[in-house]
Chains A and B, each alone.
Chain A
Amino acid sequence: MSETHANEGTEVKKPTKAEKVANAIAERFPNAQVEVKTNKWMRERVWVRVQKEDYRELMKFIKALDGEAHYSIGIEQDWGEELGFLNHLVIYYDDAPAVSLLIDVHAPKDDPTLPDISDIFPIALQFEREGMEMIGIDFEGAPDKRRLFLPEDFPEGIYPLRIDDKGVPEEMVHNAGHPYYLKGGAKK
Chain B
Amino acid sequence: MRLSPLIPTVLRNLAKKPATNLFPKMEPVPVPENFRGRLIYDVDKCVGCRMCVTVCPAGVFVYLPEVRKVTLWTGRCVFCSQCVDVCPTNALKMSDEFLLASYDKYDEKFIWFKEEEIEELKKKLEEQKKAKEAAKKAENK
Interfacial chain B residues near A183, Cβ < 8 Å: 115
Interfacial chain A residues near B111, Cβ < 8 Å: 179
Among B40-74, those with CB < 8 Å from A are: 59, 62, 71, 73
A-B contacts at CB below 8 angstroms, number: 20
Q: Does A41 contact B (CB under 8 A)?
A: no
Interfacial chain B residues near A175, Cβ < 8 Å: 59
B interface bracket (residues with beta carbon within 8 Å of A): 10 to 19
Bound-complex Cα distance A61 to B111 (A): 61
Majority secondary structure, A binding face: loop
Q: Does B106 contact A (CB under 8 A)?
A: yes
Interfacial chain B residues near A154, Cβ < 8 Å: none
Interfacial chain A residues near B115, Cβ < 8 Å: 180, 183, 185
Q: What's the minimum C-beta distance from B62 to chain A, rounded to whole angstroms?
A: 5
Interfacial chain B residues near A178, Cβ < 8 Å: 59, 62, 73, 76
Bound-complex Cα distance A186 to B63 (A): 10
Bound-complex Cα distance A183 to B71 (A): 13
On B, residues with C-beta under 8 Å from A are 59, 62, 71, 73, 75-76, 106, 111, 115, 118
10 new A-B contacts, CB < 8 A, other than A178-B76, A185-B71, are A178-B62, A178-B73, A179-B73, A180-B62, A180-B71, A180-B73, A183-B115, A185-B115, A185-B118, A186-B62
On A, residues with C-beta under 8 Å from B are 175, 178-181, 183, 185-186
